[in-house]
Chain A
Amino acid sequence: MSIYTATAAVPGAAARTGTRTTRVIGVLALVTTAFVVVSAFFLTPADSVQGDSVRIMYAHVPTAWVAYLAFITTAVASGFSLARRHRTLGFDRVAGASGEVGVLFMAMTLLTGSLWGRLTWGTFWQWDPRLTTTLFLFITYVGYLAVRRIDTDPRQRARRSAVIALLAVLEIPLVHFSVVLWRSLHQEASVLSPDGDVRLDDLMLFTLFAGVAAFTLIFAWLVIHRQRLTALADIRQTVGLDAAIALRRSETSGVVK
């Protein structure tokens, strides 16, 4: 049963956006996140140069990667939305939900990176290529969300925002390779480095990947719930409009009589 028929048939069920799948994802996200917290603070060693400040990495890097994943998801869903715009707005809702979560994670990346920078570089912020392109990416997607908030026909909204999403995703390679293309205060990648070497101790690397898994699960949970919530809001708007038209028609017919 689709969310539309469920809403129409059982009004009380309309408030629910969770299913067995989302509950499983939620539990897995909680367990993985708990492991990452314990491992990051108590199991992994301090770094030989940075000391305990390296523990910020277990939040900073995963949030950045998952923000990339979110923006790529937005672009893919936008592509499907453009290709099938006459059939459904479902892809558009997934694109919007993923964009919102991506902006949230990108903000966390900037925040944790700023704190980490203060502890290691000695400054919260500098206009170096990596930091600047990352901020540019963040602002672009804030703009994308702003376009989605323009009060217009949902299909027109979907079309406009899809075009922006397909262009904005091209910034991701620029951000990722900014430390290779230009000289940057930000260090080069430790895991996805150009030469393929991984420059982390084993437990550090394992905890980092656990962090990526945890944040990916949180991302999936949030996007599923958010796009269902958007669908419900669209239904409420449609039902409300239909009811208003019906009421107006009944009033008009009453006057005529």
Chain B
Amino acid sequence: MDLSPREVPDAPRAQRRWLPIAFAVFAGVAGLAIIGVFLTSSIDYFCNVDEVGVREGCNDDERVRVQGSVDEGSLQLQAGTTSFVMSFNGASLPVVYDGEPGGVFQECIPVVAHGRVVNGTLMATRIEVKHSNEYEAENADRIEESESAACS
């Protein structure tokens, strides 16, 4: 019996090294494509006011998150209930919220309201402020400018 050590042929080094890398890159690109292209509507945090009942995932008979700006002059606080009208792209939606919204909630500011649409009114269970990415010094003139821009 021949017991002398045998030489085991090496696998091609380049193939061994690049195969996992190629697989990882493919998996990464495929993953990003799935997330970025196919899951977009599922990952979106909110529907805009003009999409309620129109866009997929924004059905008015389900719980929705709706984004729009608080109309100037529409905000009312009565007996612990907040009501206002939010608008986006020409469409408006009345909102009723049992409580006082937190954050920097005010008129002429974008908000996201969570809730269900009942008889054309969004009965909100949560209100969040979606502030812009602009930062300006506190200045009375600028506040008026920004308010007029937001509500025009």
Contact = CB atoms under 8 A, between A and B. Distances in A.
Contacts, number: 106
Interface residues of B, number: 36
A57 B128 contact: no
By CB atoms of chain A within 10 A, which of B130, B135, B136, B143 has the most? B135
A185 B36 contact: no
Main secondary structure of the interface of A (DSSP, over half): loop
Contacts of B46: 183, 185
B45 A181 contact: no
A111 interface: no
A183 B137 contact: no
Contacts of B44: 129, 182-183
Contacts of B137: 45-48, 201, 204
A182 B43 contact: yes
A252 interface: no
B36 A199 contact: no
A120 interface: yes
A185 B143 contact: no
Interface stretch (B5-13, B69-77, B98-106, B115-123): B98-106
B133 A122 contact: no
Interface in B121-149: 126-139, 142-143, 146
A50 B40 contact: no
Interface string B82-111: 000000000000000000011111000100
B35 interface: yes
